[in-house]
Structure 1
Amino acid sequence: MNYSEITFKSDDIKLKGWFIPGDSNATIVIAHGYGGNKAGCLDYAEFLHKAGYNLLLFDFRAHGESGGNWTSNGYYESDDIIAAVNYLKENFSTYAEKIGVLGISMGGKAAIIASAKTEDIDAVIADSAPAGFIESMNLRERVGMKSSKIISLFIIEDLVSYLYELQTGIDEDRNKALNYVNRMNSAMLIIHGDKDRIVPVKDAYLLYERAKKPKSIWIVNNTGHHGALQWHRVEYEGNVIRFFDLYLK
């Protein structure tokens, strides 16, 4: 795939990305998860590019090649997505008459929040997105889910929430996708594995129940955290392309 290296700003933070031209007037922004980067999204980019879409992949603040010293785990990352959308509108307008976002985990949460803040996103796919704040930190995986560790998990979650509010100025309620999903300005597809031990599948149902139409949900059997593409590739690619074709063409 041919690509151009791009740089744009969000809150005066330099973000690094790639623009990959396709054969369409629609562009899909691919938003990685917590601790990830744009290179980790190339599997998604490959099949979407084959489907004809232009793509923008970028590193969130404090990730990959981008600037910034800390992550808010969704809230300020939504501003990063909006900055990417604005960059497309200003620099690749003929390629971005319509814009979709495919967000993975934290990226899905940020995409939901972004869609509530702007009318320039036409379609969102949220893959393994947390409804709340703590889940996007992957604490369940780091601490473990054994009963002997439940008390430790609660203590760590409370401490992390407190420290993040001190650092970012964002209280936990402002950093929950669940509090934005009913204000989204775009269609949404929720994808979630029924065996997700990091972000429980109940989060997907909570988001779906509160979301406005048009909305759809795909619960993927025997699949963990953002594992649907790896373990159900043909079905995943088909569902994602059909959704974007419906709302971006």
Structure 2
Amino acid sequence: MKKSRLIGTVTPLLLTASALAAAEKLYSFAFKRINYVPDASDEMQKYATAYYRHVDWVATHDHLAVWHLDTTDHQHLSALWLAHPNSHKAVIIGHGYKGTGITMSNYAQMFYELGFSVLLPDDRGHGQSDGDYISFGWLDRADYLGWLDKMAQELGPEAQLLLFGVSMGAATVSMVAGSSALPPQVKAVVADCGYSSLDEELSYLLKKLFHLPRRPLVPLASFINYRRLGFGIGQVDVKRALRHNHLPLLVIHGAKDVYVPTAMGITNYNASAGPKALWIVPDAIHAESYWVDPTAYRDHIAAFIAPYFA
């Protein structure tokens, strides 16, 4: 074989092997579980004292219990249940990427004070739940249907349920809202700074953080994920799910969010087929909307959901 032909044959193989190795690194970084909660960003550290005050409030509450859910694919999941006496209203709160249920304690206390019982799940690949990889809401959406059924059974025939999530949790509850199997007890959805699709979010972050194009890394990572979790990255499409949502939806997004761009929140708002409202919070970065003004945040949500909860 001539040297030029040999080089022409070997070079694409080397490039492919290099791309596969890079995709595997990307996949492990983005999808593989870690058994700790990463530190908050420098911009969010100023809220640490208030954050831990909420965590202590939940962790020491008299009505706190641990719930478990076993899935059809043999995953054992865990959640915290904070029961509100004499209330038939309850909210499931979806946590963010590499977070856990307890990291949503500020929202838990807020909803409890609004008269809701609260469920704080640890999603697959997080906290006390099984799973070696993070599914970015895709597998979790089916798990949430199981949690919602459990909540409805706990509260009885008068149960009224709310979906709420932040960041990855917002994407999760939005995809739950678009499910044809949604329990009738679910009355509304509040989604704070969720991405419009996983493909778009990964492609955006690759370019922003590493100055890399979408191809070939995202398609290769999608192939890896399909082999390991059984679905492609393109299936995690929040805006597509919201086209099937007819529940009232409140979309909240920080005006200065550069981690999940504000435009994605607007895309999700536009996609939803039911009654809806959009609140762009001035000066808020990613997942900061609550912390900018907790009272305004609570009042905004309370006003939106009031017509749908007796």
Instruction: Provide TM-score, normalisation by structure 1.
Output: 0.89
Question: Aligned partner of 2:163: which letter?
Answer: V
Q: Which amino acid aligns with 1:73?
A: F
Quote the offset at 1:157 in angstroms.
3.4
- Quote the residue 1:56 is aligned against: 119
In 2: Cα distance, 1:77 partner to 1:133 partner: 14
Count of residues in Structure 1 that have an aligned counterpart in Structure 2: 244
Change in 2 beyond 3 A, CA 1:195/1:230: same
Q: In the alignment, does 2:68 pair up with 1:33? A: no
C-alpha distance in 2 between matches for 1:166 and 1:197: 31
Q: How does 1:222-233 map to 2 (within 5 A)?
A: 222-233=283-294
The correspondence for 2:137, drawn from 74, 88, 92, is 74
| Residue pair 2:145, 2:182 contacting (<8 A) in 1 also | no
Task: Tell me what 1:240 maps to.
Answer: 301
Q: What letter corresponds to residue 24 of structure 1 in structure 2?
A: S
Which residue in 2 is equivalent to 1:217? 278
Instruction: Output one character per residue of 1:8-30: Cα deviation in whole Å (capped at 9) or x when no partner.
Output: 12333111112112242111111
- Letter paired with 1:88: M
Task: Confirm or deny: 8 A CA contact 2:64 2:82 kept in the other structure.
Answer: yes
> Where do 1:88-103 residues align within 5 Å?
88-93=151-156, 97-103=159-165
Alignment match, 2:22: none
Three-state SS of the structure 1 residue aligned to 2:284 is: coil
Q: Counterpart in 2 of 1:19?
A: 81
Is 1:46 paired with 2:129? no
Please say if residues 25 and 98 of structure 1, whose CA atoms lie closer than 8 Å, have aligned partners that are also in contact.
yes
Match of 1:129, SS state, is coil
Kept in 2, the 8 Å contact 1:34–1:137? The answer is no
For residue 189 of structure 2, what is the aligned residue in structure 1?
Answer: 124
Name the SS for the 2:231 alignment partner: coil
Following superposition, the deviation at residue 40 of structure 1 comes to: 0.3
Instruction: Give, in whole Å, the separation in 1 of the partners of 2:215 and 2:307.
Output: 42
User: Which aligned segments of 4 or more residues in structure 1 are displaced greater than 6 angstroms?
Assistant: none
| Alpha-carbon offset, residue 154 of structure 1 | 5.5
- Name which structure has the greater RCO, CA cutoff 8 Å, separation 6+: 1
Query: Does the 8 Å contact 1:126/1:191 carry over to 2?
Result: yes
Please state whether the residue corresponding to 1:180 is helix, strand or coil.
Answer: helix
1:209 Cα deviation from its structure 2 partner? 1.1
The structural deviation recorded for 1:185 is 3.9
Query: Is 1:150 the equivalent of 2:211?
Result: yes
Distance 1:83 1:185, change over 3 A: farther
Identity of aligned pairs, percent? 21
- For the residues of structure 1 that align with 2:82 and 2:148, how far apart are their CA atoms? 14
Unaligned runs of 5+ in 2: 1-60
When the two structures are superposed, what TM-score results if normalisation uses the length of structure 2?
Answer: 0.73
Task: Answer with 83-92 or 211-220: which moved more.
Answer: 83-92
Paired with 1:93 and 1:69, the residues of 2 have a C-alpha distance of 34
Range moving further from structure 2, 46-55 or 11-20: 11-20
Quote how far apart the aligned CAs of 1:174 are.
1.8
Contact 2:199 2:234 in 1 (8 A): no
Deviation (angstroms), 1:156: 4.1
* Alpha-carbon RMSD: 2.1
What is residue 41 of structure 2 aligned with on the other side?
A: none
Give CA deviations for 1:48-71 in whole Å, capped at 9, x if unaligned. 111111111110111101112222
Q: Contact 1:208/1:217 (CA < 8 Å) preserved in 2? A: yes
Q: Which of 112, 119, 138 matches 2:174?
A: 112
Cα deviation per residue 1:159-199 (whole Å; 9 max; x = unaligned)?
43332233222123321101110101421110111211111
- Matched letter for residue 27 of structure 1: A
